[in-house]
Structure 1
């Protein structure tokens, strides 16, 4: 876009990476555990899948927001340029009209005898 992005994505990415490392560590620790631990791991896997889907959806929505903001910035630039051209045309029209009215009309001179 024309302007600097407003938000920083690095903290969100770091938080997600930390969460994924924690989940993988939990899976490693409780591989051969009790049925309750296995049930907890299944639930955790479900949450991980949901998190991945939500991350994909959030990425898609973030892209749409970025595109929309970029489009709005370009619309603003187009409006500013359009207004500038309108003012320039108005000044040009005023100068030309004033010049037409201030110029003396040219008349034919009569031939001298």
Structure 2
């Protein structure tokens, strides 16, 4: 569980992984709750049809854009690997990552 924000040297995915922080259903629930509360504050009505109209595109977008091949097609990672090849791929990645020098630490002792 890592992302580009942590500056990994490599970032691989398995075919069954997802890149979303949350699933489409959870995101749709959050957005639905926010809209429902907003309408409630305004004194307006929030119908089941409006709820479904909001949820469906959100769930579809999360399903499509959370897919590992969607991410790899945009070069957000270093590739989708077959789980049975994980050991081989990690071995090659570690071997190449160790070729880059590790800089000296410029901080003191952390007291706990």
Give the structure-2-normalised TM-score.
0.32
Q: Would you tell me which structure has more helix in proportion to its own residues? A: 1
Give the structure-1-normalised TM-score.
0.32
From the CA coordinates, give the structure whose radius of gyration is larger: 1
